[in-house]
Amino acid sequence: MMTHTVLIVDDEYAGRQTIESVLDGEGYRLEMAENGTEAMEKARKHLPDVILLDLMMPDINGFEVCERIRKDKQLAEVPIIILTALDDNSSMLKALEAGADDFISKPFDRYELRARLVGIMRLNRYQKLVTERAKLEQANADLVAAYDATISGWSRAMDLRDRETEGHSQRVAEETVKLATSLGLSEQELIHIRRGALLHDMGKLGIPDSILLKPDELDSDEWKVIKQHPKLAFDMFKSIDYLRPALDIPYCHHEKWDGSGYPRGLKKDAIPLSARIFAIIDVWDALNSDRSYRSAWKKNDALDYIRNQSGLHFEPRIVDLFIKYIIKK
């Protein structure tokens, strides 16, 4: 069980002893300070969970101690309970303005002091928990941001390998997320879709340059090698937990609605929704980009191709949504 430290600050020995007798046996570790200067030194040394502070002291009074503690980054969040013979409202308000959290007039009831101390300890633990949770959430957000920056870097590296497709992964990721948003997918699903879109061609790292960058038409054996890249991507990333939900696109973006795609010949709803969405965006971007073997298509010709592939390559419902999306742009 964790032992909480209480720093008792009172210039009178009798005052310190009285508080010590009240708290004896309550499970606290008690530290004593006879004046404001010593209070600051012991507070920095012991980092108490709460400070019981007298106001009227000879060197530095309790008001000044409060102010100094609140300005000290190391001590600023330590709860302070004022214990003083001053019982006027002006002293109480001044103490609260200086940074005190509670105010008890002497002589005090021992049961009230114990109860107030338990209450402020509980509040302090809650505040620390909230702070730690916020730090943990921020650390997690920073880690996710680092992961996503890494994924973006991987995708850029993949695009740079083939100058003709430079920028392709970034473009299709943005457009796929936009189209998926119109389908009402959740924020978490959109995150996985964006990651999957960025990683969709990473399996091509396992394809020899002699095939991947070949300027001429590929023969049947070379096509067999190219068609391995979705499986290569899946095998590359399947052991990474945070990427596993994003692998539907790298693994299935060459599957076709009519079952004629690869690598598994999936058909209709057996193809993951994210891959069905991405497939249209991927083809659209390819058609609208210059290649060494052809110029970019005209927009209307590319739209006609997408329409003609409805029910064959692409899911008809998503084709309709895509056409509306493109016309609105």
Give the DSSP H/E element, type plus range, for residue 72: none
Calpha distance 234→316 (Å, rounded): 27
Q: What is the pLDDT of residue 163?
A: 61
Selection from 164, 279, 150 nearest residue 212 by Cα: 164
Q: Does residue 59 sit in helix, strand or coil? A: coil
Selection from 117, 86, 90, 89 nearest residue 102 by Cα: 117
Half-sphere exposure of residue 290: CA atoms within 13 angstroms, side-chain side: 3
Alpha-carbon torsion 200, 205, 207, 210, what sign?
Answer: positive
Q: What is the pLDDT of residue 161?
A: 72
Q: What is the pLDDT of residue 130?
A: 61
Residues in the chain with pLDDT < 70?
Answer: 1-2, 125-126, 128-130, 162-166, 292-293, 329
Q: What is the pLDDT of residue 1?
A: 53
Sheet architecture: strand order including 50-53: 29-33, 5-9, 50-53, 80-84, 102-105
Calpha distance 17→32 (Å, rounded): 10
Selection from 201, 126, 123, 119 nearest residue 156 by Cα: 201
Q: Which residues, including other chains, have CB under 8 Å from residue 4's CB and lie 6 or more apart? A: 27, 28, 29, 49, 50, 121
How deeply is 49 buried, as exposed, middle or buried, from its count of CB atoms within 10 A (0-12, 13-18, 19+)?
buried
Going from the N-terminus, what domains does the chain have, and what CATH number goes with each? 5-133 (3.40.50.2300), 162-328 (1.10.3210.10)
